[in-house]
Amino acid sequence: MIRKTCYSSLTVFAALAGLIFLFSGCNPGPTVPPTHTSIPSVTPTFTATPIPLPALTLKPGDFYFSVDGKQSIIFGRNIAGYQQSHYELFLDWSKAGGSKFVRVPLDNIGGIGFTRTGEVDPNWLTQWDRIFDAADADGIYVLPVFSTWYDWNNGKPDMGYSTWKDNPVNQANGGFVKSPAELFQKGSTTQTMWMDWMQSLVNHWHGRKNILAWEVFSEVNLASGSTETTGIDFVNTAVALIRSTDAGRLVTASIADCPPGSGACYWPSFYKQANIDFVEMHPYQRQLDRVLISEVRKTLGKYGRPVLIGESGLSAATPDSEAGKLTVAENAPLGVRHAIWASIVSGAMNGRTLWWEDGVGIYFPKLGIPWMQQYQTSELPAVNFVDGIDLSGFGPLTTRTSSDIWGAAVGNEKHIIGWFRDAACEPPDWNLKPVLSGQTVTITVPGSATNWQIDFYDTKSGTDIVSSIAIITKGNTATIPFPDFADDIVFKMLIQE
């Protein structure tokens, strides 16, 4: 979605931008075109006893990552902070919650990453080396995002927010770039500088085992001067350079969710023509669980590619604004928890990856770490539930429920998982009925098996079985009676040979 209300209220990033460039130590200098030197590859220097990294791969044709050879739903986060210790804390939370990767926009600490002449900023690089080391020691993969839209947006009226005024290559800061739109002019000095800078970083980091993938650009359709044609060309040029240096590593890029009719940022051909390995979604909606399930399924059908939830939230607007107050509502944790469970039955390859709750909340003085602590292990029950399930051949299934519940199921001809909740539990209050009785779901079951065992689990733990039944399908449908429950319930359905 286009986060228009967010743009006018994202004052937090303006403050952050000031901190970023305070740390970067840029001094006034002449306006000159960039020159480039390579930077050496790095060997991790973190000395703590590391946790072994799982083997994490995405095989051609699969819609889920394989973890140590078995297709699995993985969980991830967007982390941020003012200093390295914040990243280390959020990495420790990620480890405790069972997340396997963190998405890290590289402009969140120490600067945007380059000097006024376009060289890699060495102090900035050192900070990120240490953060990547810490992630490796925690057994966590990283998804680095080279640039984000607001670094290359001049604050035109339909956006209302940018950090272009602080970009070191901005001519107003002694750099050589007159307009951020130059980044999308093929063969321009600005684009050449950025591509060389990016490739230097890939060369520096490609030897690290805990790079999950490279994200070329976050929400490229919101950058000034980008069009769908130039944005696709920009991303494909970058992807080709990355693969020339780091062949075999996954590459992606993202666009903001802009619905049809929303203007120039609606790019319907981007994910068809961008030469990337998986689609990335950024849903921000008050009914986040419902949107995740519906939009992931639409995206899978439209593009036929794996779908990563790159970032998400109950609102795109900042939590300190009127438009963003849902994020800090009393029962918002229930909406977030439902979204995490919804992700595992959506067809997406991952879950969690929240924006405000995972990292960016630290930039709000009235929130910060104390507010974020309530979410530090929110994904753990879902992690426990899916542990050990082989998702090979899993896909979204058609379901029909009784009137008081809502949810979804995914599976194959031997194994199905489903999550369903109180259908009336909706924002802004997320009120719950004391108990739900006599509820059913009918699932269109793939394959020809007729005998199934169903175990219902408590969603607070993801491991405690609360009830079990056996059913026989009628044709290709299975009607499942639920035990009494409150809030939500999840189940595993296995064929009986």
Whether pLDDT at 157 is above 80: no
The pLDDT value recorded for residue 39 is: 46
3-state secondary structure of 453: strand
pLDDT band of 156, cuts 50, 70, 90? low
The pLDDT value recorded for residue 102 is: 98
Cα separation, 119 vs 33, in Å, equals: 11
The pLDDT value recorded for residue 158 is: 52
CB-based contact 456:385 (threshold 8 Å): no
pLDDT digits (tens, 9 = 90+) for 319-347: 999 999 999 999 999 999 999 999 999 99
* Domain 4-27+62-386 architecture: Alpha-Beta Barrel (3.20)
Whether pLDDT at 495 is above 90: yes
Q: Domain 395-495, what fold?
A: Immunoglobulin-like (2.60.40)
User: Backbone phi, then psi, for 320, in 5-degree steps?
Assistant: -90, 5
Handedness of CA 113, 119, 124, 130 (dihedral sign): positive
The pLDDT value recorded for residue 37 is: 40
Who wins on pLDDT, 277 or 163? 277
pTM assigned to the model: 0.89
Q: In the chain, what are the domain boundaries?
A: 4-27+62-386, 395-495
Q: Which amino acid is at 173?
A: N
The pLDDT value recorded for residue 52 is: 84
Q: Write out the two tokens for 393.
A: 């051949």
Cα separation, 443 vs 395, in Å, equals: 13
Q: Which amino acid is at 276?
A: I
43-47, 65-69, 184-188: the lowest-pLDDT one: 43-47
DSSP of 154-205: ---TTT----GGG-TTBGGGT-SBS-GGGGGSTT-HHHHHHHHHHHHHHHHH
pLDDT digits (tens, 9 = 90+) for 237-285: 999 999 999 999 999 999 999 888 888 899 999 999 999 999 999 999 9
Q: Per-residue pLDDT averaged across 206-222, rounded?
A: 97
The pLDDT value recorded for residue 260 is: 87
CB-based contact 435:476 (threshold 8 Å): no
Q: Per-residue pLDDT averaged across 424-443, rounded?
A: 98
The pLDDT value recorded for residue 497 is: 76
The pLDDT value recorded for residue 263 is: 85
The pLDDT value recorded for residue 4 is: 32
10-24, 224-238, 251-265: the lowest-pLDDT one: 10-24
Q: What are residue 395's DSSP bridge partners?
A: 411
Planar angle of CA 16, 76, 408, nearest 5 degrees = 125
Q: Which residues of 38-55 are buried (b: 16+ CB within 10 A; e: fewer)?
A: ebeebebebeeeeeebbe
Q: Which amino acid is at 202?
A: V
The contacts of residue 453 (CB under 8 Å, 6+ apart) are 468, 469, 470, 493, 494, 495, 496
Q: Per-residue pLDDT averaged across 163-170, rounded?
A: 93
CB-based contact 103:311 (threshold 8 Å): yes
